[in-house]
Structure 1
Amino acid sequence: MLTARRRATASAAAALAGALLLASCGGSGGGSSDAKTLRLWHYEAPNSAMGAAWTEAIKEFEATHPGVKVKFEEKSFEQIQKTAPMVLNSSDAPDLMEYNKGNATAGLLSKQGLLTDLTAEAAERGWDKLLSPGVRTTSQYDTDGVMGSGKWYGVTNYAEYTMVYVNKDLFAKYEVPEPRTFDDLVAAMDTFVENDVTPLANAGAEYPAQQYLYQLALSKADRSWVDSYELYQGKADFHDAAWTYAAETFADWVKKGYIGKKSTSAKAEDAGVSFLQGKAPILFSGSWWYGRFQDEAAFDWGTTLWPGSDLTLGSGGNLWVVPKSAGNKELAYDFIDITLSKRIQNLLGEKGGVPVAADTAAVTDPKAKELIAHFDTLSGRDGLAFYPDWPVPGFYDVLVSETQKLITGSEKPDAYLDALQKAYDKGVPQQ
């Protein structure tokens, strides 16, 4: 996510796309073959685990490629999410870019012919051996752009999953036991509301709100449900027991004050900062925050997997993709190799990321070891259930706008589920 992210008006998006293209002009163009420059885009915060690891990878790349410089351009998740098809279809594409995984994103770009087929490189360089089957699901896409099989169009070099972040100081202040079960979680939220504290950090304008709702659905689901929804291996019914429970419970949580109505227009950064500033006792979000919280949080905090659910949101991390029009593909492949090296993977783990090719015994930080242990637990029970916006193109925006209506109360759960069903069915590839 995973992630790190998204929405603007159509006119704002168009303006942003134009600005992004203009800002990228000059220097070594993505379509050129300037062998002395590797143009790299990613959107990880400098003090995140991935940001720290990629910074070190840049240093190693330049040290092992005399005369070659990395021209790194930091982009936001939103910028890349909204403008990638336009940029990659131009002469301004970078040589290597971080991009969101899943059918609606990397899968769509692969289907559109905008990404380089990395299958031969994956075999030659051993990437296919380094990544476990569950992690590499999002690296491969078939001719319809559906993940899980087919050619390699991206390479992930970390994993991610969601968890419950807990401000232990606030729990202690209000004498609230840390949740071990789902009933504990609900009881804790009731106590915080009684003390005029909104329990859950949330963001209705970006991904956090829909991820709360998807997690509620997952708590009533199983692997076949996930495969039907994400991989089209069955019929996805948005009025089934899992989705109905999720929509109704989410709406009820808003009414009870667990989720603030003012969070409708908040973005993911706002949710993370509200937790960092000690305003919200609980944040349900991804491991992408972990390194930042380690670096910035001034209070005692911890994590737990969502109680009462074998499944949670998660997958291999965002992908390194090589644009079809990239001018320096070999350099891009070399950089991917470095990010998968033991040294960089160990650093990523130590900084609070979830490495996929590390010597985990070399990770010494207690919180980092806890993060990796939780991931091992999830992997061991086949608990990674991907993300709600992945199945069809444009579904992310539908989820944002419809979930905002649940927060404001302008739409009832039944109508909400009707809207999701309609958008999903419209986007599912015809078999």
Structure 2
Amino acid sequence: MKTRTRATSTVAALAALPLLLTACVGGGGGGATADGGGDADDKTLTIWHYENEDSAMGQAWAKAIEIFESEHPDVEVEVEKQTFEQIQKNAKIVLTGDDVPDVMEYNKGNATAGQLAAQGLLMPLTDAAEAHGWSDKLAGSLATTATYDENGLMGSGEWYGVPNYGEFVGVYYNQEMFDDLGLEVPTTLAELEKVMKAFEAEGITPLAEAGAEYPLGQLWYELVLANADRGFVDDYQLFDGEVDFHGPEMTKATEQLDEWIEKGYVAPDSAGLTAEDMGVSFIKGDYPMMVSGSWWFGRVVAEMKDDWGQFNFPGNDLHTGSSGNLWVVPTNADSPSLAEEFIDVTLRPEVQEVLAQKGGLPVAGDASTIEDPKTKELTENFQEILDQDGLAFYPDWPVPGYYDVVVSQLQSLVNQSKSPDEVLDGLESAYTDGKSDLLGD
């Protein structure tokens, strides 16, 4: 087998060098140019990714490499394992040099892939997307994180990355606790509130939550989306129009969350709890429901003793979530054509089926091939969202630093130290300032 996997981290090594690496892009590398100029090397494909070999993505990428090698017997594939943190922190330094991968996994969004694209560090893939049919396979909200304009804002402009899997926020529930009270899975928001009321009447806090990190913001955003349409999402996430933070979408959501807190549906101590605290308490059976992401699926499968299930946030057509990380091609890559061919392999049915079987939420997979019932349920829930073009991204995505703002403002709601109106004022102020900085207003 020609694959060489390097255990050492090129990113970590280069990060230790003096910052002389921050020269202008494309200096003397002989690699591809930003407009898709040729290959300096057609005998080696260097891949960087940060997936564990036992994960759904790691196993799928291994399958893709196997297929690629069988079709390119004269090409040596070099795989270098990085960590998410290493690439996130050092990509801008490393990619200005000549010793870059041909294709690498990278995070999506304005502050990550968008920044690299705007700085000329990533090769446009628009022609390849059309030639290979990626733009047909990855339509609607899936393609939003793949395209960036000249300012690095997602949702328009050139293709700079290709996602192969997805992620979304849904509701995990404890089947045994539901059965004890004779409760059914809710299909509307009103039914969800009746279920929560029934648990609270028995002295059971219905929702495992975490106000010190992302989960509470994602619950709040699900409530926003319950009152929103795609136009609102595009205004909020893509700056297509102005957002009224005191309009019906955000006002109803914030007031409803405040009401849930007052009624005891969210524990008062959750303001100081982390996502780990939340997940562990749900898995232990302390709470009947947890609103969180598909990234918890594998751990719940492995650790939860009680019978459990998962359903989409009831009544919503739009849901918190997005495509997964992107495959991107650095501007200075030596083998961009091979990189594009490898990306195309990752979207083939046999690779997507590996993702499906392992709970990796394929973007071009077939849930009917999945044998494990819980994996199939998760994948079918995701497919239902895709069928409605229902991915609406994450509440903290629009502007840099907004994550901390969302966490802080919603902690104030749990602590009852701010009213819903005051929380919305705080969210609006940071959003407006961040948007002005991004757009240069």
The bucket for the TM-score relative to the shorter chain is: 0.7 to 0.9
> Alignment partner for residue 213 of structure 2, among 206, 214, 217?
206
Q: 1:173 to 1:323 in 2, by over 3 A?
A: farther
Deviations along 1:142-176, whole A, 9 cap, x unmatched?
11223222111110112332211111122223444
1:210/1:399 contact within 8 Å kept: yes
Aligned to 2:83: 75
Normalising by structure 1, report the TM-score: 0.81
Tell which structure's C-alpha radius of gyration is larger: 2
1:104/1:389 contact within 8 Å kept: no
2:11/2:91 contact within 8 Å kept: no
Q: 1:40 to 1:280 in 2, by over 3 A?
A: farther
Q: 1:131 to 1:181 in 2, by over 3 A?
A: closer
Q: 1:261-300 residue pairs with structure 2 within 5 A?
A: 261-300=268-307
Structure 1 unaligned residues grouped into runs of 5+: 1-18
> Alignment partner for residue 163 of structure 1, among 165, 170, 176?
170
Q: Give the Cα separation in 2 of the matches to 1:157 and 1:391.
A: 23
Q: 1:376 to 1:83 in 2, by over 3 A?
A: same
Q: Give the Cα separation in 2 of the matches to 1:256 and 1:48.
A: 40
Q: 1:177-192 residue pairs with structure 2 within 5 A?
A: 177-192=184-199
Q: Which deviates more from structure 2 when the two are superposed, residues 189-198 or residues 242-251?
A: 189-198
What is the DSSP-based 3-state SS (H/G/I as helix, E as strand, rest coil) of the residue aligned with 1:103? coil
Q: 1:325 to 1:268 in 2, by over 3 A?
A: farther
> Which residue identity lines up with residue 233 of structure 2 in the other structure?
V
What is the DSSP-based 3-state SS (H/G/I as helix, E as strand, rest coil) of the residue aligned with 2:112? helix
Aligned to 2:401: 394
Deviations along 1:70-90, whole A, 9 cap, x unmatched?
4343524x6655555455456
- The alpha-carbon deviation at position 265 of structure 1 amounts to 4.3
Aligned to 1:173: 180
Q: Give the Cα separation in 1 of the matches to 2:102 and 2:211.
A: 34
Identity of aligned residues (%): 47
Aligned to 2:410: 403
Q: 1:335-414 residue pairs with structure 2 within 5 A?
A: 335-414=342-421
Q: 1:60 to 1:173 in 2, by over 3 A?
A: farther
Q: Give the Cα separation in 2 of the matches to 1:70 and 1:170.
A: 49
Q: Give the Cα separation in 2 of the matches to 1:53 and 1:143.
A: 32
- The alpha-carbon deviation at position 291 of structure 1 amounts to 4.2
1:38 and 2:46 are equivalent in the alignment: yes
Deviations along 1:236-273, whole A, 9 cap, x unmatched?
11111211222222233333333334433444344333
Q: Give the Cα separation in 1 of the matches to 2:99 and 2:416.
A: 44
Q: Give the Cα separation in 1 of the matches to 2:125 and 2:216.
A: 34
1:354/1:375 contact within 8 Å kept: yes
Q: Give the Cα separation in 1 of the matches to 2:77 and 2:226.
A: 48
Q: 1:323 to 1:363 in 2, by over 3 A?
A: same
1:24/1:92 contact within 8 Å kept: no
Q: 1:133 to 1:177 in 2, by over 3 A?
A: closer
> Which residue identity lines up with residue 362 of structure 1 in the other structure?
T
> Alignment partner for residue 130 of structure 1, among 120, 127, 137?
137
Deviations along 1:29-63, whole A, 9 cap, x unmatched?
9x899975724133x56554334323443555566
> Alignment partner for residue 52 of structure 1, among 53, 56, 59?
59
What is the DSSP-based 3-state SS (H/G/I as helix, E as strand, rest coil) of the residue aligned with 1:425? helix
Q: 1:125 to 1:221 in 2, by over 3 A?
A: closer
What is the DSSP-based 3-state SS (H/G/I as helix, E as strand, rest coil) of the residue aligned with 1:179? coil
1:48/1:289 contact within 8 Å kept: no
> Which residue identity lines up with residue 259 of structure 1 in the other structure?
V
> Alignment partner for residue 223 of structure 2, among 216, 226, 250?
216
Q: 1:190 to 1:51 in 2, by over 3 A?
A: farther
Deviations along 1:351-374, whole A, 9 cap, x unmatched?
223222234443343333333433
Aligned to 1:318: 325
1:165/1:282 contact within 8 Å kept: yes
2:12/2:86 contact within 8 Å kept: no
2:166/2:324 contact within 8 Å kept: yes
2:14/2:94 contact within 8 Å kept: no
Q: Give the Cα separation in 2 of the matches to 1:83 and 1:253.
A: 42
Aligned to 1:100: 107
Q: Which deviates more from structure 2 when the two are superposed, residues 351-360 or residues 289-298?
A: 289-298
1:21 and 2:12 are equivalent in the alignment: yes
| C-alpha RMSD of matched pairs (Å) | 3.5
> Which residue identity lines up with residue 191 of structure 1 in the other structure?
A
Q: Which deviates more from structure 2 when the two are superposed, residues 285-294 or residues 348-357?
A: 285-294
Q: Which deviates more from structure 2 when the two are superposed, residues 112-121 or residues 51-60?
A: 51-60
- The alpha-carbon deviation at position 102 of structure 1 amounts to 2.8
1:225 and 2:255 are equivalent in the alignment: no
1:416 and 2:423 are equivalent in the alignment: yes
Deviations along 1:277-331, whole A, 9 cap, x unmatched?
3333212122333344344443322222211222211332221223334455455
Deviations along 1:210-261, whole A, 9 cap, x unmatched?
1111111111112221122122222111111211222222233333333334
1:218/1:312 contact within 8 Å kept: yes
Q: 1:358 to 1:307 in 2, by over 3 A?
A: closer
